[in-house]
Amino acid sequence: MDKKKADIVIDCSNLIILPGFIQTHTHLCQTLFRGQADDLQLLPWLQQKIWPMEASHDAATMRISARLGIAEMLKSGTTTIQDMGSVHHYDEIFDEAKQTGIRINGGKCMMDFAETVPDYLLEDCRSSLQETERLIKTWHNTENHRLRYSMAPRFAVSCTTKLLAESAAMARHYGCNLHTHASENRDEIALIEKRENSRNIDFLHKYGFTGEDTTLVHCVWLNEHEKATLQHTHTSVAHCPASNMKLASGFAPIIDLLQRGVNVSLGTDGAPCNNNHDMLLEMRLAALIHKPAYGADAITAKDVVHMATIAGAKALNLEKEIGSLEVGKKADIIGLSASALHSMPADDVYSQIVYSMSGHDVQLTMVDGEILMLDRELKTIDEEATLAAVQPALRDVVSRSSTL
């Protein structure tokens, strides 16, 4: 471009320029709960801590939670997220994404199985579907297609077969993605085996939750038949290594899945099970944790950059628009410091990025051609005001959740 015709000229001579990172699984509604639910396994983590706090959000605290998470993500190079909300207040998440400029595939979480869902979050199937349809009609494909809807039943344990089947049909009717947790934890699988006499992935497959439009999150405990189902249905898997270790869920068979050709992308999951949204730290973990079992070359730094970018775009069926730097694609671009002390010498750029860097190295974040962060300064979020609002918002949520 002619320098004289550009609105802004950025000196990128000391930056590594990449497509923005794509997180295919996170929960902005939980950012406010960071540090509130440490050292628990999945089901008690949900039942004792996360569900009461999610139910205690009001519209104002939901906004603070989302803004805190988005600010952290933009400062650490994430430009697109697939987000699962709580049952209520998803308009606030979309509106925060609209205002801050991040790209989002989001959806309210759906839970209608009375025996496993506490009363304060339980929905009936019809009202859950009606609210979801209202959100789709309000937000899907708005803001130059930057805001899109991903249908989000929480997990098989919390959903009736009617909700699963009808939500899959609704997603396909409106051209939305499907996004749910699957086979994260052995107790979760045992519940489905007892209730449905079926392996979890087989059960989800039966009700429509597999295919090129579907992201199954975690997939830690799979048998060979389930791996083959994911492979043959072209279902994407979102790998969240920090969450899997922090909740003691296990090590997902990612190398097996990659060898089968399954599309595997990455996510940080919610702040209370990570406890951050730094994609570069997640990439480092994804590169390291499979080596002891599968060998040092089982997954390379270059493989992990692929998972964090174009594989994420593919999971969301957006590979023609984002996930790589090509003429004609959206300008979702990040710049990383090329010569920091901790990442020099600069011999192999993939090695620098995955094994040596963290989110603090990100100097530029652009989404759809808009500069959202430059030289560590957020352009669409008042960082100081956001930080000042965090503790009061948390106090409000904790005080309401103590009465449940």
> In whole angstroms, how close is the CB of 238 to Zn ion at the nearest point?
9
Please, what is the minimum distance in Å from the beta carbon of residue 243 to Zn ion?
Answer: 7
Q: Which is nearer to Zn ion, 132 or 180 (CB)?
A: 180
Stretch of residues binding Zn ion (CB under 5 A), selected from 50-58, 187-195, 269-277, 396-404: 269-277
Candidates 127, 126, 88, 80; CA nearest to 107 is 88
Tell me the C-alpha distance between 357 and 352, whole Å.
Answer: 6
Residue 269 interacting with Zn ion (CB under 5 A): yes
Nearer to Zn ion by Cβ, of 158 and 365: the residue is: 158
Examine residue 184 and tell whether it contacts Zn ion (CB under 5 A): no
Compute the least distance from the CB of residue 224 to Zn ion, in Å.
25
Total binding residues toward Zn ion, as defined by CB under 5 A: 1
Residue 282 binds Zn ion (CB under 5 A):
no
Q: Which residues contact 242 (CB under 8 A, 6 or more apart)?
A: 268, 269, 273, 274, 281, 282, 285
- State which residue, 85 or 323, has the beta carbon closest to Zn ion: 85
What is the three-class DSSP state of 213? coil
Stretch that binds Zn ion, among 8-16, 122-130, 262-270, 380-388 (CB under 5 A): 262-270
Binding segment for Zn ion (CB under 5 A), chosen from 52-60, 104-112, 134-142, 261-269, is 261-269
Q: Which residue's CB is nearer to Zn ion, number 20 or number 85?
A: 85
Judged by beta carbon, residue 245 or residue 349, the one nearer Zn ion is: 245
Please check whether residue 25 is in contact with residue 237, taking contact to mean a CB–CB distance below 8 angstroms: no
Name the DSSP class of 282.
H
Q: Are 305 and 352 in contact (CB under 8 A)?
A: no
Kindly give the pairing relationship between strand 78-84 and strand 21-26.
parallel
SS3 state at 337:
strand
Position closest to Zn ion via CB: 269
Residues with Cβ within 8 Å of 381's Cβ and at least 6 positions away in sequence, in order, are: 67, 70, 71, 74, 100
Report the interface residues with Zn ion, using CB under 5 A: 269
